[in-house]
Amino acid sequence: MFALYFTAQDAASGRQCIGVATASSPAGPFRDASAQPLVCQVGEGGSIDASPFQDADGTRYLLWKNDGNCCNQATNLYLQPLSADGLRLTGKASTLIQNFQLWEGAVIEAPTLYHAGGVYYLLYSAGPYDSDLYAVGYATAPRVTGPYKKAPENPILVSRGEVAGPGHQTVVTDGAGRTWLAYHAWTAGRTSDAAGGYRSLRLDPVSCAGGRVKVTGPTVTPQRAPAPLPAGPLYPGDFADPFVLNVDGTYYAYGTGLHGRAGGLAFEALSSPDLIHWTSHGGVLTPLGPERRDHWAPEIARREQTFYLYHSVGHGDQGHHLRVATAAHPLGPFEDLGLNLTPDELFAIDPHPFQAPDGAWWLFFARDDLGGERPGTVLAVAPLHDMTRLGEARTILRASGDWQRYQRERAMYGGVHDWHTLEGPFVVWRAGRFQLLYSGGAWVNETYGAGHAVADHPLGPWTEPVPGACVLRTAGSLRGPGHASVTARGGQDVLVFHAWDALRTRRQLYAAPLFWREGRPCTEWSGGP
């Protein structure tokens, strides 16, 4: 369902008020089945300029402006929680900002909320809309409800050259992950209907980072369309177990490969503005000491201004345990906190930190378990306290098919087993459920692939709607794909994973659009959208 928020005249009060209509397609037709407005502040002149916002925890909000300038009253920007379907207001409304700066004149309006790097950016327009005084400013806050502080450099987008009265903006992200400011503007000298003018759609690059908003504009030239993701490897080097984190518009990739030997740092890190062009920054983790160790499968979580790097350390494929290191920047250097997160496990690898919609943190990982019909490496999860301590771990998924067999008659822990492997867990919240992507089989050959399970709670029960390597499998030139993570590019989920090169000498970095069909993740190697 798609919800369309709009302004119309309220028949009962004569004021401008906000309604909501729904449709099964973004192209409509939209219909409003309600008997009254969604928001109608009659005593404050009415309500206009509705703008929906969904926070990182899934909570929906509606922003709007009271129409006080219609009747010599102050104008305020408001925010109030919405129901899960977006059709009802819940909780209490919060006043975010009011017009009081000289450039704003008698009105502030058109609120747009954007969240990046732990900062909420409230963009808004102010001034008379039918003049070249109309402009865009912003305010910031550490929490969605404020308090918001207006930027001292306001306004940040003003009339210039042919462009007059820019405003009523929204922030959009394209398929390459770049952020843009879409807004309307008049042509200079024609800033009203009476003057033969009209407001046309404009688009300029915008960045929201470090508590500041910067717009490259206004411009009058066409903008370049984003390039598609390459079908082949994104980086020529060995880059196994990739994880990608978007920090303020820059993608950072981390992979297994560098182990911190010969005085170097472990875990190579790459950066990219678009998921296509990558720059290597070398290692990012300070090793534990001079002893030779193997460092596997890094993943990073950000909490406030600290970055936490979770990984495993062992010798070859023996004795791995989970550890955590911290840094103030995504490129480190990360310093180990001196904590073995899994001291009681026989073997633990592939940690995946995940924050649920309720704000709770969990750590998913793989561990060895000799129980069940298919002994081997299974998937587990534990509550993650203060980002550095694990609660009780619970096994959530075991091998369910022959495709997950790692090796027949493998000698392990004093016995011989047909060893099965599940590893590389990664969880996202989609369609109101927890969606688990994992890898199975033998990472050393073409049997490796990626499967999928779902649950209503991190502790499960987890079920596999479609058995087998239904997300990624060997196909065409793609050999042994797996150990996937998910990032986003222009609002589109992107699956990041590794696959072997033709000579099977290195595992390389790949990315592909990830689609959801009837609640099932799909890529071009699993049937497409």
* Per-residue pLDDT reduced to its tens digit, 73-130: 999 999 999 999 999 999 999 999 999 999 999 999 999 999 987 799 999 999 999 9
CB 185 within 8 A of CB 201: no
The C-alpha atoms of residue 124 and residue 112 are separated, in whole angstroms, by 6
* Cis peptide, bond prior to residue 228, ω within 30 of zero: no
Strand 376-385 relative to strand 415-430, pairing: parallel
Q: Say if residues 81 and 91 touch (Cβ distance below 8 Å).
A: yes
**What is the Cα–Cα distance from 248 to 177, expressed in whole angstroms?**
11
pLDDT digits (tens, 9 = 90+) for 384-442: 999 999 999 999 999 999 999 999 999 999 999 999 999 999 999 887 889 999 999 99
Burial 305-336 (b: 16+ CB within 10 A, else e): eebbbbbbbbeeeeebbbbbbbbeebbbebeb
By the 8 A CB rule, do 424 and 469 touch? no
Quickly state the pLDDT bin for 177 (edges 50, 70, 90): low
53, 3 Cβ separation under 8 angstroms: no
| Distance set, CA 104 to CA 49, 137, 156, 217 (Å) | 16, 9, 12, 20
- The residue-averaged pLDDT of 340-362 equals 95
Q: Give the residue-averaged pLDDT of 232-246.
A: 96
Q: What is the mean pLDDT of the chain?
A: 93
Model pTM greater than 0.95? no
Instruction: Give the tens place of pLDDT for each residue, 44-61.
Output: 999 999 999 998 788 999
CA distance 215 to 200: 18
Q: Report the range of poorest mean pLDDT among 79-88, 107-116, 172-181, 368-377.
A: 172-181
Residue 529 pLDDT:
44
pLDDT over 90, % of the chain: 81
Residue 527: pLDDT above 60? no
Tell me what pLDDT residue 471 has.
94
- The pLDDT score that the predictor gives to residue 526 is 63
358 pLDDT band, cuts 50/70/90, is confident
Residue 326 pLDDT > 70: yes
Angle CA(516)–CA(519)–CA(522) in degrees, nearest 5?
35
Residue 179: pLDDT band with limits 50, 70, 90? confident
Average pLDDT over residues 359-369: 96
Structure confidence at residue 260 (pLDDT): 67
Given pLDDT bands bounded at 50, 70 and 90, which one contains residue 528? very low
CB 148 within 8 A of CB 141: yes
How large is the average pLDDT for residues 479-505? Answer: 91
What is the number of other CB atoms lying within 10 angstroms of the CB of residue 236?
11
